[in-house]
Structure 1
């Protein structure tokens, strides 16, 4: 007969051995909270901007047939250009995030990890 898993915190999440990071202390630290806020200040506006841009494209495709079917050049329509620009905007946001993380988040994260691993809290 199988035993049911324990739902007790002590059983499922034993205390880390000495020398291991105290993740709860890290999560409560002002530095970690500042890093999370900095990430949110970037990701939330970018997410909102992209969702509005995408929703705008979908609404144009659904309700502005004449506009979306206008020829930009040759057989290429405005709708096709706007659709392809969705991919471009995704790549631009990704590159902006990589630059942001490398300059603003990664150094602080590395500093916090170093401090926590050496026991200086």
Structure 2
């Protein structure tokens, strides 16, 4: 069956063909999916667009992300829950953390003593 594509779709297709980066191509495919008429004649074309978009998204995720700064600390997910202590400076968060988890955390009278995340396991 004929697809009967609109001029707007043909413009979006031209933008897709001109796109150089993967995010530009994905954006163009999303525009094409929004514009394409939904009828029996375009079912196959819609499927091709979806598969193309999925492949591009997978390729984008597989590429190593270029980060400006290295991640200093990574907290591994384990245990029953992960808890973050937030509050004002000198409120006693490090002291509470040290007493609950028996982990070594620097406690001092000046603000912003703890600069990095400190993992600790609390027994329950």
* TM-score calculated relative to the size of structure 2: 0.31
Greater fraction of residues in strand? 1
Rg: which structure is higher?
2
More helix by share: 1
Taking structure 1 as the reference length, the TM-score comes to 0.31
